[in-house]
Amino acid sequence: MKKLNILILTILITISLCSCNNANKEIEESNTSPTPTDEQTVIDDTTDNNEDSSDDKGNDEVSQETGELEIIKKVEKMTDEELLDSYIYNLEICCPEFDFNNATELDADELYKLFLYSLFENVDSDKEDELYDEYHKQWYNEELSVFQIEVEDIKKQLDKYLKEYTLDIGNTKLINTDSEKIETPTITGFGGNAFPKIKEKSLNGNQLELTVDFYDESYNNIIRSKIYILEFYNDGYYIIKDKLVD
């Protein structure tokens, strides 16, 4: 009987010890679980990453802005002769009749001449033949022996030089009403000469204003004067104004 009591007592002690061990294990597991503070830390890290992405985007915009300013910096350093050679001389040779405050005043024939001017504008002489071959391949009709130019191709070029204009292609003699294309035997052939001098110039933001006097060959007499306003963008410039001075 005494041995039985000892055995029962031993069993009870063992059960008690197991219960205590389980309780301690639960307490330890509870202590190692993530706290609300830990979860908040993870969320904050995610927010920081988003802020970094925003900063990168901002840097890209600054880079683009710097790219726009690079053109203006180059213009600021150009001499009068360089400005005339780059923007005025050939334009005046091709389109001397231009006289507008707004490009919407230009008629279809004047717009077409500007289109022709734009095809080889500021192209190095050693690359002109290669560029001409590209245009010939694109537009030349061997059977008719003429260039047939899509109206949309003309607009693509004009869009590089004019912010707004009205192209009523039906008002030009070169339009083929059947094909609705401009037909011309040549896209080159401008000739002549001009003798310009810059009288006044000013640069405001991305707009360059030039007052130019055109002389006779001796540079003794002024034949006419014009005011030009050019507005620069990353890849080129718009002709805002090309107006005769009264």
Residue 62 to residue 56: CA distance in whole angstroms: 10
* Domain presence at residue 166: yes
Q: How many residues does the chain have?
A: 246
Q: Is residue 42 in some structural domain?
A: no
CA distance 157 to 115: 6
How many independent structural domains does the chain possess? 1
In a domain, 227, yes or no: yes
Say what the pTM is. 0.71
pLDDT for the residue numbered 173: 83
Which pLDDT does position 54 carry in this prediction?
A: 38
Low-confidence ranges of the chain (pLDDT < 70): 1-69
pLDDT attached to residue 154: 96
Q: Would you say residue 184 lies in a domain?
A: yes
CA pair distance 156, 160, nearest whole angstrom: 7
In a domain, 60, yes or no: no
pLDDT value at residue 104: 97
Range of the domain at 228: 68-244
Is 29 domain-assigned?
A: no
Residue 178's pLDDT is what?
A: 84
Is the residue at 16 inside a domain? Answer: no
pLDDT in tens, 81-118: 999 999 999 999 999 999 999 999 999 999 999 999 99
pLDDT at residue 172, as a whole number: 84
Q: Is residue 210 part of a domain?
A: yes
